[in-house]
Amino acid sequence: MKRHPLFGQLRWRIVGAQMVVVVVGVVVVLAVTNLLVEAMLAAAVAGVGDQVQAAELARELSAAFRTRMLIAVGIGALGAIVAALVTGLLLARQILNPLYQLALSSRRIAAGRYAERCDVPDSDELALVATSFNQMAEELERVEQQRVTLIGDVAHELRTPLTALAGYLEGLLDGLFPAEPETFNAMAQELRRLRRLIDDLQDLSRVEAGQISLNLAPQPLVPLVRQAVTALLPQAESKGVSLTFAPPQVAPEVLVDADRTAQIAHNLIGNAIRYTPEGGAITVSVGVAGRQAEVVVTDTGIGIPAEVLPYIFERFYRVDSSRSRQSGGSGIGLTISRYLAWAMGGELVAASAGAGAGSTFTLSLPLAPASSPAPRSTEPNQV
Binding site for ligand ADP (CB under 6 A): 267, 271-272, 275, 299, 301-302, 304, 312, 317-320, 324, 329-335, 359
Distances (CA, A) of 275 to 218, 239, 279, 303, 317: 32, 11, 12, 8, 15
Please report how close the Cβ of residue 340 comes to ligand ADP at its closest, in angstroms: 12
C-beta separation of 103 from 89 below 8 A: no
Residue nearest to ligand ADP (CB): 329
Cβ atoms 339, 207 nearer than 8 A = yes
Least distance between ligand ADP and beta carbon 199 (Å): 12
Burial of residue 61 (CB within 10 Å: 0-12, 13-18, 19+) is middle
Give the torsion through C-alpha atoms of 285, 289, 292, 295, to 10 deg.
-10
Name the residue nearer to ligand ADP (CB basis): 64 or 355: 355
What is the rounded distance in angstroms from the CA atom of residue 188 to the CA atom of residue 185?
Answer: 5
d(CA 332, CA 316): 5
Task: Return the number of the residue (267 or 377) whose C-beta is nearest ligand ADP.
Answer: 267
Shortest distance, CB of residue 240 to ligand ADP, whole angstroms?
A: 16
When the beta carbons of 215 and 326 are compared against ligand ADP, the nearer one is 326
* Min separation Cβ 319 and ligand ADP, Å: 3
How far apart are the C-alpha atoms of 366 and 364, rounded to whole Å? 7
Using an 8 Å Cβ cutoff, are 287 and 270 in contact? no
Shortest Cβ 298–ligand ADP spacing (Å): 9
| Shorter beta-carbon distance to ligand ADP: residue 249 or 327 | 327
Nearer to ligand ADP, 51 or 238 (CB): 238
Cα–Cα distance, 47 to 132 (Å, whole number): 73
Task: Give me the least distance between CB of 111 and ligand ADP, in Å please.
Answer: 36
d(CA 67, CA 232): 105
Pick the closer one to ligand ADP by CB: 152 or 310: 310
Least Å distance between CB 91 and ligand ADP? Answer: 56
Cβ distance 271 to 280 under 8 Å? no
How many Cβ atoms from other residues are within 10 Å of residue 303's Cβ?
20
Indicate the residue type of 326: Q
CB 164, min distance to ligand ADP, A: 17
- Measured from the CB atom, the residue of 296 and 368 that comes closer to ligand ADP is 296
CB of 276 to ligand ADP, least distance (A): 7
Q: Is 194 in a helix, a strand, or coil?
A: helix
How many other C-beta atoms can be found within 10 angstroms of the C-beta atom of residue 282?
Answer: 25
Buried b / exposed e along 165-189 (16+ C-beta atoms within 10 A): beebeeebeeeebeeeeebeeebee
* 88 vs 301, beta carbon nearer ligand ADP: 301
